[in-house]
Amino acid sequence: TQLLEQSPQFLSIQEGENLTVYCNSSSVFSSLQWYRQEPGEGPVLLVTVVTGGEVKKLKRLTFQFGDARKDSSLHITAAQPGDTGLYLCAGKGTDTGNQFYFGTGTSLTVIP
Protein backbone atom coordinates (compact mmCIF):
# COMPACT_ATOMS: atom_id res chain seq x y z
CA THR A 1 0.00 0.00 0.00
CA GLN A 2 1.26 3.45 -0.90
CA LEU A 3 -0.04 6.09 1.51
CA LEU A 4 -0.59 9.78 0.76
CA GLU A 5 -0.94 12.30 3.57
CA GLN A 6 -2.53 15.67 2.90
CA SER A 7 -2.17 18.79 4.98
CA PRO A 8 -3.87 20.72 6.25
CA GLN A 9 -6.99 18.63 6.75
CA PHE A 10 -9.20 21.71 7.08
CA LEU A 11 -8.63 25.24 5.85
CA SER A 12 -10.88 28.28 6.22
CA ILE A 13 -9.70 31.51 4.64
CA GLN A 14 -11.01 34.89 3.50
CA GLU A 15 -11.65 35.62 -0.14
CA GLY A 16 -8.53 37.00 -1.79
CA GLU A 17 -6.03 35.12 0.37
CA ASN A 18 -3.47 32.65 -0.94
CA LEU A 19 -3.14 29.05 0.24
CA THR A 20 -1.09 25.92 -0.29
CA VAL A 21 -2.17 22.31 0.17
CA TYR A 22 0.43 19.58 0.51
CA CYS A 23 0.34 15.92 -0.47
CA ASN A 24 3.20 13.81 0.89
CA SER A 25 4.29 10.20 0.77
CA SER A 26 7.32 8.04 1.38
CA SER A 27 6.49 6.13 -1.81
CA VAL A 28 7.24 6.96 -5.41
CA PHE A 29 4.35 7.44 -7.81
CA SER A 30 4.41 7.29 -11.59
CA SER A 31 1.99 10.22 -11.74
CA LEU A 32 -0.12 12.32 -9.44
CA GLN A 33 -3.58 13.80 -9.85
CA TRP A 34 -5.50 16.52 -8.04
CA TYR A 35 -9.28 16.46 -7.82
CA ARG A 36 -11.91 18.79 -6.38
CA GLN A 37 -15.08 17.31 -4.96
CA GLU A 38 -18.27 19.08 -3.96
CA PRO A 39 -20.69 17.54 -1.45
CA GLY A 40 -22.64 14.60 -2.88
CA GLU A 41 -20.84 14.70 -6.21
CA GLY A 42 -18.01 12.80 -7.83
CA PRO A 43 -14.41 14.07 -7.76
CA VAL A 44 -13.60 16.25 -10.75
CA LEU A 45 -10.10 16.08 -12.19
CA LEU A 46 -8.10 19.31 -11.99
CA VAL A 47 -4.70 18.21 -13.23
CA THR A 48 -2.34 15.29 -13.78
CA VAL A 49 1.41 15.72 -13.29
CA VAL A 50 3.77 13.07 -14.58
CA THR A 51 7.36 14.30 -14.52
CA GLY A 52 9.36 14.91 -11.35
CA GLY A 53 9.74 18.66 -10.81
CA GLU A 54 6.86 19.43 -13.15
CA VAL A 55 4.87 22.61 -12.54
CA LYS A 56 1.46 23.18 -14.10
CA LYS A 57 -0.61 26.32 -13.89
CA LEU A 58 -4.35 26.55 -14.43
CA LYS A 59 -5.47 30.15 -14.01
CA ARG A 60 -5.09 30.82 -10.27
CA LEU A 61 -4.05 27.24 -9.42
CA THR A 62 -0.42 26.07 -9.50
CA PHE A 63 0.45 22.39 -9.13
CA GLN A 64 3.92 21.02 -8.50
CA PHE A 65 5.19 17.44 -8.52
CA GLY A 66 8.22 16.82 -6.34
CA ASP A 67 11.56 16.00 -7.94
CA ALA A 68 11.52 12.52 -6.40
CA ARG A 69 7.87 11.99 -7.39
CA LYS A 70 6.88 11.39 -3.77
CA ASP A 71 5.04 14.62 -3.04
CA SER A 72 3.01 17.39 -4.59
CA SER A 73 1.54 20.77 -3.75
CA LEU A 74 -1.42 22.83 -4.86
CA HIS A 75 -1.22 26.60 -4.53
CA ILE A 76 -4.25 28.80 -5.01
CA THR A 77 -3.78 32.53 -5.52
CA ALA A 78 -6.50 35.01 -4.56
CA ALA A 79 -8.98 32.36 -3.45
CA GLN A 80 -12.62 32.81 -4.37
CA PRO A 81 -15.78 31.33 -2.80
CA GLY A 82 -16.11 29.10 -5.86
CA ASP A 83 -12.87 27.36 -4.82
CA THR A 84 -14.65 25.92 -1.78
CA GLY A 85 -14.62 22.13 -1.77
CA LEU A 86 -12.72 18.98 -0.86
CA TYR A 87 -9.35 18.72 -2.58
CA LEU A 88 -7.98 15.23 -3.09
CA CYS A 89 -4.61 14.13 -4.36
CA ALA A 90 -4.15 10.69 -5.87
CA GLY A 91 -1.02 8.89 -6.96
CA LYS A 92 -0.76 6.18 -9.54
CA GLY A 93 1.20 3.37 -7.95
CA THR A 94 4.25 1.71 -9.33
CA ASP A 95 2.97 -1.70 -8.28
CA THR A 96 1.16 -4.06 -10.59
CA GLY A 97 -2.42 -3.28 -11.51
CA ASN A 98 -2.00 0.48 -12.01
CA GLN A 99 -3.84 1.15 -8.79
CA PHE A 100 -4.52 4.72 -7.67
CA TYR A 101 -3.95 5.72 -4.05
CA PHE A 102 -5.91 8.63 -2.61
CA GLY A 103 -4.87 11.18 -0.06
CA THR A 104 -6.84 11.96 3.07
CA GLY A 105 -8.31 15.16 1.59
CA THR A 106 -8.25 18.87 2.41
CA SER A 107 -11.56 20.62 3.04
CA LEU A 108 -11.30 24.24 1.90
CA THR A 109 -13.80 26.95 2.77
CA VAL A 110 -13.40 30.40 1.24
CA ILE A 111 -15.40 33.03 3.09
CA PRO A 112 -16.74 35.93 1.01
Partner 1 sequence: DSGVTQTPKHLITATGQRVTLRCSPRSGDLSVYWYQQSLDQGLQFLIQYYNGEERAKGNILERFSAQQFPDLHSELNLSSLELGDSALYFCASSDEWADTQYFGPGTRLTVL
Nearer residue to partner 1 within complex by CB, 51 or 80: 51
Name which of 10 and 112 has its Cβ closer to partner 1: 10
44-49/31-37 β-pairing = antiparallel
**b/e map 68-102, b = 16+ CB within 10 Å:** ebbbbbbbbeebeeebbbebbbbbbbeeeeeeebb
> Is residue 2 a contact point for partner 1 (CB under 8 A)?
no
Using CB under 8 A, count the residues that bind partner 1: 25
At its nearest, how many Å lie between partner 1 and the CB of residue 89? 11
Residues 7-66 that bind partner 1 (CB under 8 A): 30-31, 33, 35, 40-45, 48, 50
103 binds partner 1 per the rule CB under 8 A: yes
Task: Determine, following the binding rule CB under 8 A, whether residue 97 of this chain makes contact with partner 1.
Answer: yes
Evaluate whether 2 touches 102 at the Cβ level (below 8 Å): no
CB closer to partner 1 out of 90 and 108 = 90
Binding site for partner 1 (CB under 8 A): 30-31, 33, 35, 40-45, 48, 50, 88, 90, 92, 96-105
